[in-house]
């Protein structure tokens, strides 16, 4: 029996160490002494360690069996105390092997290569951060810097789709300094527009600008930025009533403009015949417009300029079903409309817009933006005392010393309308719909030099009286291209590519 046990111990001590390392299983108890030797003597002593373990086991077994044979065959041991000491010796050997194995494992762990650190994140900057490092950067707070080397981002004549409403150079403007100003945020840089990078984001998608002629001004800027930035691409421009589509075929992408100057349905919705003195809105109706942009992946809204009048008629009913002539003759008592303050009408319309966003937009897919008010420069006395020429003849931005007087866009900018939009944007955020406000009001305010003034195409002939006083018909509302709307699109671009 003792002979067989000794053979079993030798078999354990002679097990291959490599087999244990390959399988990753726990080695037999007697084999653990080899780990100790490896830790103490290095990898070169692996085979000797396993041989020494076998010899130690063999000697221990022989001693134990000798004592047993002595008792069986009458050989008197020194005392029972010797057997007890021998048993303690065996236990000590086992305990020593176990402790040393743990130490060896700890030594192996210390020599093992440290775990790899987690992969570094390359989080893109948020819309409020730019190239200023880890600090938050407000892209909308900064200053205008004259830069002839890097600006404009394109040439007016290079854009194949330039609108004659914004082509100031073509219509006689000789001073082109307005094209060379770039927007420099405080503490960071505004990302330079990259047409190809944007188109990769817009692949198989639809970007739609919805609003009035100022939003069309921005849309035209975006079309020129893409057309001149990637002139080799196959692009087409198609117009269908209120919808204009700029298609980039290689990317299956489109950049569209939809004419909806008051967002909700109105009697000014015709793309050409919209100059109506008696303006009426259906403040609770937006579906007629929304059906044209409900599938968009990116929506950019604006609406402000067309609300600039003391009062507005708000209609509850349909333009398609006017009251009968008899009812109209009796004082329109069946025509359900009311003349109310324009701000209140605007609040109703923006609420209707927000309700549509909440219940119809795909929150996981569609990105939503709202452009703040574009400032006008219709009163030159706001930046130059005693002046009444509006923006006519202006070739430089408003000086920093005079900006405080005209801060916020002057008399043409009513911040109560801005607060109405902000309130609805907050309400949408509480309901899980994210709309980002692009605050172009303050940054555009100094640029009295960048309007078309008299350098644009006019659809109505200029009268002799107007020619004698050019400032009387100067366009101080819209913007020359290239120019300020390119910066608006750089801000939009910064959010879309982040």
Are 68 and 166 within one domain?
A: no
Known catalytic membership, residue 475: yes
**What was the pLDDT predicted at 74?**
41
pLDDT of 108 over the 50 cut:
no
pLDDT of 13 over the 70 cut:
no
Q: Tell me how far apart the alpha carbons of residues 427 and 491 are, in angstroms, rounded to a whole number.
A: 24
Pick the catalytic residue: 274, 377, 478, 495? 478
* Tens-digit pLDDT profile for residues 371-395: 999 999 998 888 887 777 889 999 9
**Structural domain contains residue 336:** yes
Q: 185 near 439, Cβ under 8 Å? A: no
Q: Tell me how far apart the alpha carbons of residues 52 and 64 are, in angstroms, rounded to a whole number.
A: 19
Please give the residue range of the domain that contains residue 306.
Answer: 142-496
Are 106 and 162 within one domain?
A: no
Q: Average pLDDT of 298-322?
A: 88
Q: How many residues does the chain have?
A: 498
pLDDT of 321 over the 80 cut:
no
Are 341 and 488 within one domain?
A: yes
Please tell me which residue, 314 or 88, carries the higher pLDDT value: 314
**What was the pLDDT predicted at 387?**
76
pLDDT of 311 over the 60 cut:
yes
**Structural domain contains residue 472:** yes
* Tens-digit pLDDT profile for residues 334-381: 467 899 999 999 999 999 999 999 999 999 999 999 999 999 999 888
Q: Average pLDDT of 317-329?
A: 58
Are 89 and 158 within one domain?
A: no
**Structural domain contains residue 137:** no
Are 422 and 488 within one domain?
A: yes
* Tens-digit pLDDT profile for residues 398-409: 987 555 544 555
pLDDT of 426 over the 90 cut:
yes
Coil, helix or strand for 258? strand
**Structural domain contains residue 263:** yes
367-371 and 298-301 strand pairing:
parallel
Please tell me which residue, 130 or 272, carries the higher pLDDT value: 272
Are 106 and 156 within one domain?
A: no
Whether a cis peptide bond, with omega within 30° of 0, leads into 152 is: yes
Domain ends where: 61, 91, 111?
111
Cα atoms found within 13 Å of the Cα of residue 36, Cβ hemisphere only: 15
For residue 453, the 8-state DSSP code is: B
**What was the pLDDT predicted at 109?**
41
**Structural domain contains residue 378:** yes
Are 25 and 146 within one domain?
A: no
Q: Taking Cα atoms as reference points, which of 286, 238, 244 lies closest to residue 262?
A: 286
Please tell me which residue, 383 or 322, carries the higher pLDDT value: 383
Count of structural domains within the chain: 2
Q: Tell me how far apart the alpha carbons of residues 263 and 370 are, in angstroms, rounded to a whole number.
A: 12
Residue 63 burial (CB count, 10 A): 13
Are 71 and 153 within one domain?
A: no
- Confidence bin at 498 (pLDDT 50/70/90): confident
Q: For residue 70, with 0-12 CB atoms within 10 Å meaning exposed, 13-18 middle and 19 or more buried, which class applies?
A: middle
Residue 243 pairs with which residues in a beta bridge?
240, 258
Assigned token pair, 446:
């100094």
- Confidence bin at 410 (pLDDT 50/70/90): low
Are 67 and 161 within one domain?
A: no
Q: Average pLDDT of 258-276?
A: 91
Q: 268 near 261, Cβ under 8 Å? A: yes
**Structural domain contains residue 343:** yes
Rounded mean pLDDT of the chain? 78
Q: Tell me how far apart the alpha carbons of residues 146 and 173 are, in angstroms, rounded to a whole number.
A: 19
Q: Where are the beta strands (DSSP E) in 241-383?
A: 243-248, 253-259, 265-266, 280-282, 298-301, 311-315, 337-341, 367-371
Are 91 and 173 within one domain?
A: no
Q: Average pLDDT of 40-52?
A: 39
Q: Tell me how far apart the alpha carbons of residues 136 and 73 are, in angstroms, rounded to a whole number.
A: 92
**Structural domain contains residue 129:** no
Pick the catalytic residue: 13, 163, 213, 268? 213
Q: Taking Cα atoms as reference points, which of 223, 358, 340 lies closest to residue 290?
A: 358
Coil, helix or strand for 254? strand
- Ranked by mean pLDDT, the top range of 14-28, 265-279, 429-443 is 429-443
Q: Taking Cα atoms as reference points, which of 382, 386, 390 lies closest to residue 411?
A: 382
Q: The domain spanning residue 355 has which CATH number?
A: 3.40.50.1110
* Tens-digit pLDDT profile for residues 219-241: 999 999 999 999 999 999 999 98
Are 165 and 23 within one domain?
A: no
Please tell me which residue, 410 or 213, carries the higher pLDDT value: 213
**Structural domain contains residue 236:** yes
pLDDT of 449 over the 60 cut:
yes
**What was the pLDDT predicted at 332?**
52
* Tens-digit pLDDT profile for residues 155-200: 999 999 999 999 999 999 999 999 999 999 998 999 999 999 999 9
Least confident of 100-114, 118-132, 199-213: 118-132
Are 147 and 34 within one domain?
A: no
Q: Taking Cα atoms as reference points, which of 244, 278, 279 lies closest to residue 262?
A: 279
- Confidence bin at 92 (pLDDT 50/70/90): low
- Ranked by mean pLDDT, the top range of 32-46, 76-90, 481-495 is 481-495
311-315 and 435-438 strand pairing:
unpaired
């Amino acid at each position: 029996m003792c002979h067989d046990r000794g053979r079993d111990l030798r078999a354990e001590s002679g097990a291959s160490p490599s087999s244990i390392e390959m399988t990753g299983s726990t080695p037999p108890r007697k084999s653990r002494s080899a780990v100790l030797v490896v830790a103490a003597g290095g990898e070169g002593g692996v085979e000797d360690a396993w041989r020494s373990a076998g010899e130690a086991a063999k000697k221990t077994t022989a001693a134990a069996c000798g004592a047993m044979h002595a008792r069986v065959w009458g050989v008197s041991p020194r005392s029972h105390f010797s057997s007890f000491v021998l048993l303690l010796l065996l236990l000590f050997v086992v305990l020593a092997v176990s402790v040393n194995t743990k130490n060896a494992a700890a030594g192996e762990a210390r020599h093992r290569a440290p775990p790899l650190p987690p992969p570094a994140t390359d989080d893109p900057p948020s819309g409020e951060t730019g190239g200023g490092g880890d600090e938050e950067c407000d892209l909308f707070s900064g200053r205008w810097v004259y830069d002839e080397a890097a600006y404009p981002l394109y040439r007016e004549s290079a854009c194949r789709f330039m609108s004659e409403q914004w082509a100031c150079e073509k219509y006689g403007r000789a001073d082109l300094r307005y094209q060379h100003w770039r927007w420099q945020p405080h503490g960071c840089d505004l990302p330079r527009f990259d047409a190809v990078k944007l188109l990769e984001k817009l692949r198989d998608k639809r970007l739609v600008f919805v609003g009035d002629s100022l939003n069309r001004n921005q849309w035209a800027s975006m079309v020129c930025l893409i057309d001149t930035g990637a002139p080799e691409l196959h692009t087409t421009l198609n117009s269908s009533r209120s919808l204009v589509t700029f298609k980039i075929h290689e990317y299956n992408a489109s950049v569209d403009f939809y004419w909806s100057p008051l967002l909700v349905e109105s009697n000014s919705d015709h793309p050409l015949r919209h100059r109506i003195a008696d303006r009426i809105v259906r403040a609770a109706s937006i579906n007629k417009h929304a059906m044209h942009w409900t599938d968009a992946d990116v929506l950019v809204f604006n609406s402000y300029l067309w609300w600039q009048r003391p009062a507005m008629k708000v209609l509850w009913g349909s333009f398609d079903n006017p009251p009968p002539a008899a009812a109209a003759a009796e004082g329109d008592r069946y025509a359900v409309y009311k003349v109310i303050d324009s701000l209140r009408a605007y609040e109703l319309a923006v609420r209707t817009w927000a309700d549509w966003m909440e219940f119809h937009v795909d929150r996981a897919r569609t990105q939503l933006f709202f452009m703040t008010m574009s400032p006008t420069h219709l009163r030159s006395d706001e930046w130059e005392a005693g002046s009444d020429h509006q923006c006519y003849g202006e070739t430089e931005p408003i000086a920093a010393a005079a900006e405080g007087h005209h801060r916020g866009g002057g008399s043409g900018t009513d911040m109560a309308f801005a607060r109405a939009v902000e309130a609805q944007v907050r309400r949408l955020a509480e309901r899980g719909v994210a709309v980002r406000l692009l605050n172009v009001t303050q940054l555009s305010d100094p640029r009295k030099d960048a309007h078309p003034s008299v350098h644009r195409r006019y659809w109505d002939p200029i009268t002799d009286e107007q020619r004698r006083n050019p400032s009387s018909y100067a366009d101080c509302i819209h913007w020359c291209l290239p120019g300020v709307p390119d910066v608006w699109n750089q801000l939009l671009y910064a959010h879309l590519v982040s």
